[in-house]
Each structure stands twice: as structure tokens, then as C-alpha cells.
Amino acid sequence: MTQTPKTDQPNWWREAIIYQVYPRSFLDTNGDGVGDLAGITDKLDYIASLGVDIVWLSPFFKSPMKDFGYDIEDYCDVDPLFGTLADFDRLIAKAHSLGLKIMIDQVMSHTADTHSWFVESRSSRDNPKSDWYVWADPLPDGNPPNNWLSVFGGSAWQWDTRRKQYYMHNFLVSQPQLNFHNPEVQQAHLDAQRFWLERGVDGVRMDACVFHFHDRQLRSNPPALVRDTSTVTDVNPYGMQAHIHDKTQPENVAFLQKVRKLLDEYGAISIGEVSSDDALAQMAEYTEGGDKLHMAYSFNLLTPVFTAAHVRQQVEEFNARVKDGWASWSVGNHDAIRVMTRWGGEKPAPALAKLVLAMQLSLKGTPCLYQGDELALVEADVPYELLQDPYGKTFWPEFKGRDGCRTPMPWEANAPQAGFTEGTPWLPVAEPHVANAVDVQDRDPASMLNFQRRFIAWRRSMPQLTRGEIAFFDAPEPVLALRRDVDGHDSVLAAFNLSDKAVGFDWPATAGAAALNEHGLPGTAEGGRVTLPPYGTWFGSLPAGR
């Protein structure tokens, strides 16, 4: 059973670890090839064995599944593909019995076009929900009202013949944008959140939370002075605009305060997904003050950039901008190429997985881990004919979409479909993943899976790593060197070699440090010189005050 941080302590979530489950690909119990809530419930013991505290579930709500659950048709029901409300209640009950907390995904900025709200809104210009979505008249020449673009390609505006107007969509055409300037829309979302909080949900992850509001004047975006490649790839023209009018509007702060007030009634927590031109600034704004989001994460560590300077810059800039807010550092999720491939190439060294985990869990912030990364899974190669992601189909072949990080979890190496399903999986089980299956790694004390369990347990015993302040040292690239400090405890020093070549460097601060070897990583330090093998890590303890 996991040892969850004491929730009667203020800010307990700052010491926690989040584990993301992508339900479609976790475990299928009914043979239809799609993972379900019952499958997650069956594997909660496994999740608890990792030592994590919070389980974030990607959407399982009723949906036409054009964006695989991120296009919601009913915010207060479970899609039959995943099960029933009773299945969800059983999941909550078992999670709580194991000391795990459940966080659900709240996709608020848009709905599916099959949602009853949109069906009514598009029916006329004067119905009760006519202003629940973002509608606009065409320009005199028939063009859309401005130059806003969709993240998934093309214009952010779609012509609707019923109203003879354009409606806005930041993502798929089938994901119309809600009008958050309408207080009824805000209240509808708060009511839906209360529905799940009443069922025992412990937190919410707010998807695309910078997209809630738009510029009322519908002003066009200017060209980007620096192209954004952290959120979108360089083949996507979306990055060519400075997105100052279609998202990150100031009105969003007041809405987040309403959400926080509701969550506080239930002692629940929140994490926001921030994708903007200056994500660190938005993270700081949305988390400071204790009256908005509890924490936020960006895509800044979900990019191909893997250098010590980049990691240091993200943490230092956030800490410089924020007063009392909090970051969640994520290196993998359902929207990004698997970290082993993104940072390690086509044939990544196994040691990379341990290095990345140790580094991520040593940064100041709440770590968010993605299912399968504990198995060191690489990005799956999904052929075009089996591709499901509409985003990938639009930008193929230079960008293959998100299916490669969403393929099924491999549970048993010798079972059909690696134990994921008795049917045909919605995405193919990746052949390279089979050898890394859970049952194989369970039996190997040196596996990535067992390393993760040991490292998380060790980190939990180190208050310096869970709640200490952080400071970085100048070190030669590719070395990230840092210090974590908390009152009443010795300092912890850590050095990470972010390359596949051995590195040695002088670090005088380590001269009097005692090695911390509980984690079994292979770096050494002697006489103020640190030696790190490829993807090596060293931890040391320094008496307080030195």
C-alpha cells in the first residue's frame, strides 16, 4: 500500500507524485479492444506499488470519440465504452482503500458538437443557449472574422449553415469553443465539477485551461516574434502566430478563482495544463496567491530539447516569476513523443530511463508520471493505415500524431496482445514493448520498474527532495548540478549526466559530502571531483550550513 502524504497537512500535494492513466490503453476487461474503468480498478494495486499518490484519469465521459474523449458530449456520465457510473464508484472506493487519490480530466474550453448544448445553440440565433458558444458573422467578403488558427490545422472558424455564422474551434471542427464570457457557461461547468466531487473525486486536471476565454473584439493575432515549437511542431503554422487574442485572456483568473473556491469546499486539488507563448508566466499567474490552481504544468519539458541549460532555465525562470505558486514538472504524457525516444533517439540506452526519473523527481515541484514510462517504453511506430489520431492524419508524414505514445500497456510478455485485451486492440501493441512487459520487469530486481519503486520510496524519506528549496550550480554541459535544502536537515546535492558519454568535472561543494547510494545510481564523487558514467547520477549529503 502506498504511503500517501498526510492530507491534513497544508500543501500535502506538493509532496505527492501524480501518475497519469490513459484509460483507452491501460487494460481492457471486456474484449472490445479498448481499456475501461474496470481495467483500471483491477490494476490499482499495481499503481499503488509504484509509490505514487494521485491517479490522473484522462477523460472517460460520454463522447463521440473523435478526439478520444477530449470531445465531451455529457460531462456527468461515463461513456459505455469505459463502463458505467457504478464502475467509476467502485474505482473510487478501491483507490481510496489503497491510499490513492483520483484526479479526473476536466475539458472545459470546448465540447463535442453532439453535446446537447451545442445542438441547441446552433439551431437558431435566439434560443436560450444561442450565446453559449463563440459565434461570429462573416466579413463582407464571406471570410472568417479574423486570422485565428486551430491547433489541429486550418482556420479556427467553421461555417454553420443553420445560423449562417461561423463558430470557433481551437482544435477539431467537431470541438466547438464555449463562450466563457457567458456566466451560465461557467456555472454549468462548476455544477458538473460538483457532480464528480460529490462522488468522491479528489482533484481535477484542467485541460487546455488557457483556452477558456477569447478576445471579445475578435482581434486578429500578430505574427510570432519567436516561433512556438514547445506546443506544436515546426510543420504546424499555428506556431507562426502570437496567440494574444484567442487565449490567455485576463478574465480567466476570476474563473479559476471560482473553481478553487468550489474545490476548497471538498478539500480537492487542481492542476492546470498551460500551453501558451509564455507558459512559465501563465503558470506563475495561475498558481500564485493560493486562490486559483494548486499547481500547473507546461510543455516546456515535453520538447525534444534535452540539455542541462534548458532544464535549469525552466525551473529558475518559474521560481523567479512566482511568489508562492507551484509547478508540476512533466516529461511525458499522452500528447508527447515518449521521453525515451524524444530524448534518447531511435535506440535509447536503458540507463536513460533511470536518469530521467531521478532528475525529474529531484526538481522542486510535483512530478507527473505517464503510464508506461516506468517500463522505459519507447515511442511506438504506428503505420498510417492503423493511425487513429486526427491530428496526426492532418500533418502526416512529418508529424505522425500522438498515437505512438498511446499504444496499449504491455502486462504479460507471453500473453496475446501482451495481456492488454482478448480482442483486437484499438491501437496495435508495439512489438518492442513486449520484452519490457510488467511481468518481465517485476521479476528483475535491476529493471526500470523496480528501480522506480525503490527511488520513489527513497525520495519519500528525503524531505529535501519533496519540499526543499532548490539552487543550481554552474557545471559543464551536459551536467545538471543542483542542491535541495530544507530546515533541520542536511543538504542534498545531485548531479545528472544528460548524455551518453562519461563526464568528470570539479565540484568543490562535494568535497565534504557523503554519498547517498540507496538509489543505486552509478556516479561517484571524491575530493571535490564528480565522475558520471553515461546517463549517470550522483547524490550526496552535505552537513547543514555548508
Q: Are strands 295-298 and 157-160 parallel, antiparallel or unpaired?
A: unpaired
Specify whether the CB–CB gap between 368 and 103 falls below 8 A: no
Q: Are strands 503-506 and 491-497 parallel, antiparallel or unpaired?
A: unpaired
The helix-helix angle for 252-266 and 183-198 (nearest 10°) equals: 20
Q: How many CB atoms lie within 10 A of CB 253?
A: 14
Active site residue 207: yes
Q: Which residue in 28, 207, 228, 403 is the catalytic one?
A: 207
How big is the CA angle at 170 (ends 168 and 176), to the nearest 5 degrees?
50
Which parts of 114-164 are beta strand (E)? 135-136, 157-160
The identity of residue 208, as a single letter, is A
Nearest to 47 by CA among 452, 510, 347, 376: 452
> b/e string for 171-191 if b means 16 or more Cβ within 10 A?
bbbbbbbbbbebeebbebbbe
Radius of gyration of the chain (CA): 23
Alpha-carbon span 108 to 89, nearest angstrom: 23
Q: Is 162 exposed, middle or buried (0-12, 13-18, 19+ CB in 10 A)?
A: exposed
Q: Which residue in 126, 265, 398, 474 is the catalytic one?
A: 265
Alpha-carbon span 280 to 267, nearest angstrom: 26
Q: Are strands 135-136 and 165-168 parallel, antiparallel or unpaired?
A: antiparallel
Active site residue 385: no
Specify whether the CB–CB gap between 59 and 67 falls below 8 A: no
Q: Which residue numbers are catalytic?
A: 207, 265
